[in-house]
Structure 1
Amino acid sequence: MSADEPPMTAPAIAILAADARNAPDAAALDGSFTIAERLLLSATPDAITWQAMPVPPYRKDYHELDRADSDRGGASAPLPAEYLGSADSAAFLAYAAGKPCGLLLLSTGWNGLAVIDDILVDAGARRLGVGSALLAHAEAWARGRGLPGIMLETQDSNVPACRLYARHGYQLRGFDRSLYATHPGTAHETALFWYLLFNDRTLRN
């Protein structure tokens, strides 16, 4: 979930459905990144605006957090079995030059929207267009099922991902300062909820 602006010589990216054969590739992905900014949020009845502010740099690794959750009996990682062979969810792996470079987990939410449950770009493949390719694949998946849009959640500490979503037309429509309050290591973070509704001009404008 990091900045993903492709250079001039970006390699071709292939996105394949995950199955029992390639699922282990997800564990090889390095989801770590350095946080040097956080979002400063402002809310009115009509909109949420944001700007990035610098913070002392520190490292975050989603896989390490997932492993800690699993040790406490919480979420497992990195590719839960329920995403394989399901009619209402799906898992995809991105490859560049034959090497795994990204992960996308999708499901159908209670409100009928597609949900990006996880989107991850390997640390060694950032700024190659992998994140953009995964978002395009998520949109194609949602549209192919006749779903009205996509939602996802990230955190105010993941500024590169937020910029990527905004570039792709997602709108920040909600936040929760307490979602991670009991979660060790991320209690200081604010959950951000991004939406891309295909036919709602109030969100696309």
Structure 2
Amino acid sequence: MIVKMNQFNMKDYIKPNESFVVSGKIIPTFSNNVWNYTVERFSEPYSKKYEEEKVDISYIEEKEKVVFLYYVDNNCIGRIKMRSNWNGYALIEDIAVTKENRKNGVGTALLKEAIKWAKENNFCGLMLETQDINVSACLFYAKNQFVIGSVDTMLYSNLPTANEMAIFWYYKF
């Protein structure tokens, strides 16, 4: 069951944030105005967890922001956090699914809910950013008809432990 976040279930927002395996990286290429990519696999995969995403009451009160939570048996196993962006797209700020529920359709269901919300609010599509080392996320977006719109080599360059590029994915209606 997917429900919109409210003041009563807001505490469930942090539950799906778990680590993922970094098994390689996406190698984007740009030719003839089209982005493509290959996957480079690492010989020694490692685990990574993103810092806790903050969510505040504005995601309940403001029409231009929303969070949807995915529940099974009253347990929150997934989330998607979105807001309007200056370019007419709905920006997916975060999407997360618990480890044991990945690859079971939860993320796809959350994306479908995001598409529905974005269309109802007259956005031209969805956009998001993820890192080239989050191969599973990149492959998930590609499988769901997102395309690479740009690559940013500087976004994470000031972080001492980050050796990654930002990849911006788009789904245009």
Normalising by the residue count of structure 2, what TM-score does the alignment of the two structures yield?
0.93
Greater mean deviation of Cα atoms: 135-144 or 50-59 = 50-59
- In the aligned structure 1, how far is the partner of 2:104 from the partner of 2:74? 14
Q: How does 1:34-45 map to 2 (within 5 A)?
A: 34-45=21-32
CA displacement at 1:85 relative to structure 2: 1.6
Task: Pick which of 25-34 and 106-115 moved more.
Answer: 25-34
Answer with 117-126 or 23-32: which moved more: 23-32
State the percentage of identical aligned residues: 32
> Secondary structure of the residue that 1:19 maps to in structure 2?
coil
CA-CA distance at 1:124 after TM superposition: 2.0
Map of 2:151 onto structure 1: 175
Cα deviation digits, residues 93-127 of structure 1 (max 9, x gap):
11123211111111010111111011111112112
Aligned equivalent of 1:95, options 38, 48, 71: 71
In 2, Cα distance between the equivalents of 1:60 and 1:82?
Answer: 29
**Alignment match, 2:172:** 197
Q: Hey, what's the Cα distance between the residues in 2 that align with 1:107 and 1:125?
A: 25
SS class of match (2:61) = coil
- Correspondence for 1:3: none
Give the counterpart of 1:60 among 44, 48, 60. Answer: 48
Comparing both chains, which one has the higher relative contact order based on Cα–Cα distances under 8 Å and sequence gaps of 6 or more? Answer: 1
Measured on the aligned residues, the alpha-carbon RMSD in Å equals: 1.4
SS of 1:160's equivalent in the other structure is: helix
Aligned to 1:10: none
- Equivalent residues in 2 for 1:1-205, closer than 5 Å: 14-55=1-42, 56-62=44-50, 65-66=51-52, 77-186=53-162, 188-198=163-173
Structure having the higher strand fraction is: 2
2-structure distance, mates of 1:110, 1:152:
13
What are structure 2's unaligned runs of at least 5 residues? none
1:150-182 per-residue CA deviation (whole Å, 9 max, x = no partner) reads 111111011111111111111111000110111
